[in-house]
């Protein structure tokens, strides 16, 4: 058996106007030439290892600082600024970060961007790779243009991060369902309206393609329900909606309504928790006070 091919690539093109890019110029004005060194090093790491993203944490930060001979604090400031100016996607950096780092106002999650992902999959397509695995949680782009090379049907998603190996992929399960149909234009208009009104962004280009692709894959009803859940959790990013959809499709059929099933489960769990999880303490004056510390539904 041949050794599995690593997801990374051996080279990537660097635009000749890289240093003229507004985002790069803002960073070099703030930190000098070392900002460009940090950015290029991060791009090399992304394309070499995972191909289209990298995990950003304290260990990676320390390694990069040591490699470039810079102070950890300096590198952290450059990366934070790179996320803030949009060189890397801020939602991805936040979504998969730890609560501890978020409380410090720092980023501790995934470094990626639409441009990075498009370039990676374009290179894989041009080099005629027979198979490319990906982790749907970290995607910012539609896989439709790359459906001939991506691992979307016969094998499981192999991320290396969470080792999802179910034997049957999410996409394959969807395609085998009788509910896999093309959405009508009116239904799509309704989805687009909800997307905009709920603060996910504007509808154009790539975001429109992604919405259409997911609507046809999971159905309009599923997309709207998952979007509503994301909004209730203040996660206005489509990658989070996709995470919900991927979880549902692994547990339910498209003919079901998982949001209703889970709502009932939550209400049942809430009643049990309020009965079993809370304790009442009596004060000396006879008044009762509820101890919420052990109640999982209290925030």
Each residue's pLDDT tens digit, 139-169: 888 888 887 776 543 333 333 344 333 333 4
Contact between 291 and 278 under an 8 Å Cβ cutoff? The reply is yes
pLDDT bucket at 172, cuts 50 / 70 / 90: very low
Instruction: Considering only residues 105 and 26, tell me which one the structure prediction assigns the higher pLDDT.
Output: 26
24-33, 215-224, 257-266, 285-294: lowest mean pLDDT where? 285-294
Q: List, for residues 229-249, the tens digit of each pLDDT value.
A: 989 988 888 888 888 988 898
- Among residues 107, 49, 114, the alpha carbon closest in space to that of 87 is found at 114
Least confident of 25-34, 44-53, 245-254, 287-296: 287-296
pLDDT tens digits along 82-101:
998 999 998 888 765 545 55
What pLDDT is recorded for position 271? 60
Confidence of residue 225 (pLDDT cuts 50, 70, 90): very high
What per-residue string of b and e applies to 236-248 under the rule 16 or more CB within 10 Å gives b?
A: bbbbbbbbbbbeb
pLDDT band with cut points at 50, 70 and 90 for residue 252? confident
Render the burial of 152-166: b for 16+ CB within 10 Å, e for the rest: beeebbbbeeeebee
pLDDT at residue 102 is higher than 60: no
- pLDDT score recorded for residue 113: 93
Q: What is the dihedral of CA 69, 72, 76, 77, to 10 degrees?
A: -80
Residue 196's pLDDT band, with cuts at 50, 70 and 90, is: confident
**What's the half-sphere exposure (Cβ side, CA atoms, 13 Å) at 31?**
23
User: Does position 44 have pLDDT exceeding 90, yes or no?
Assistant: yes
State the Cα–Cα distance between residues 271 and 73, nearest whole angstrom. 47
Higher-pLDDT residue of 227, 271:
227
Q: Where are the alpha helices (DSSP H) in the chain?
A: 22-31, 34-48, 58-68, 72-84, 90-95, 99-103, 114-126, 170-176, 185-197, 205-218, 220-232, 238-251, 258-276
Confidence of residue 182 (pLDDT cuts 50, 70, 90): very low
- The stretch 280-285 carries a mean pLDDT of 46
Query: How high is the mean pLDDT of the chain?
Result: 75
| pTM greater than 0.85 (yes/no) | no
* Angle, alpha carbons 84-93-235 (nearest 5°): 100
Alpha-carbon gap, residue 188 to 215, rounded angstroms: 8
Place of tokens 């504007």: 202
How confident is the model at residue 183, as a pLDDT? 53
On the question of pLDDT at 214 being above 70, the answer is yes
Name the token pair of 106.
């720092």
Cα separation of 231 and 233, whole Å? Answer: 5
294: pLDDT confidence band, cut at 50, 70 and 90?
Answer: very low
Q: What is the pLDDT of residue 210?
A: 79
Report the pLDDT value the prediction gives residue 105, as an integer from 0 to 100: 47
């Amino acid at each position: 058996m041949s050794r599995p091919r690593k997801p990374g690539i051996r080279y990537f093109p660097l635009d000749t106007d890289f240093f003229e890019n507004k985002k790069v110029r803002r960073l070099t004005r703030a930190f000098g030439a070392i900002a460009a060194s940090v950015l290029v090093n991060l791009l090399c790491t992304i394309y070499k290892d995972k191909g289209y993203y990298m995990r950003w944490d304290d260990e990676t930060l320390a390694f990069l600082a040591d490699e470039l001979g810079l102070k950890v604090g300096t590198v952290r400031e450059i990366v934070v600024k790179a996320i803030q100016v949009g060189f890397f996607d801020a939602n991805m950096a936040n979504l998969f970060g730890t609560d501890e780092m978020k409380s410090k106002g720092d980023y501790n999650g995934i470094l990626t961007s639409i441009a990075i992902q498009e370039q990676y999959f374009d290179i894989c397509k041009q080099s005629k790779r027979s198979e490319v695995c990906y982790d749907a949680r970290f995607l910012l782009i539609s896989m439709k243009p790359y459906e001939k090379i991506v691992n979307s049907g016969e094998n499981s998603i192999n991320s290396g991060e969470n080792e999802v190996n179910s034997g049957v992929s999410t996409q394959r399960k969807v395609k085998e369902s009788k509910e896999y149909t093309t959405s009508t234009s009116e239904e799509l208009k309704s989805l687009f309206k909800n997307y905009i009104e709920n603060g996910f962004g504007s509808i154009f280009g790539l975001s429109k393609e992604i919405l259409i692709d997911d609507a046809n894959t999971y159905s309009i009803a599923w997309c709207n329900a998952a979007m509503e859940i994301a909004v209730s959790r203040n996660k206005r990013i489509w990658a989070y909606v996709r995470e919900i959809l991927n979880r549902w499709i692994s547990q339910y059929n498209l003919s079901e309504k998982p949001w209703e099933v889970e709502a009932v489960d939550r209400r049942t769990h809430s009643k049990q928790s309020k009965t079993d999880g809370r304790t009442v303490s009596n004060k000396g004056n006879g008044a009762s006070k509820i101890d919420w510390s052990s109640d999982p539904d209290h925030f």
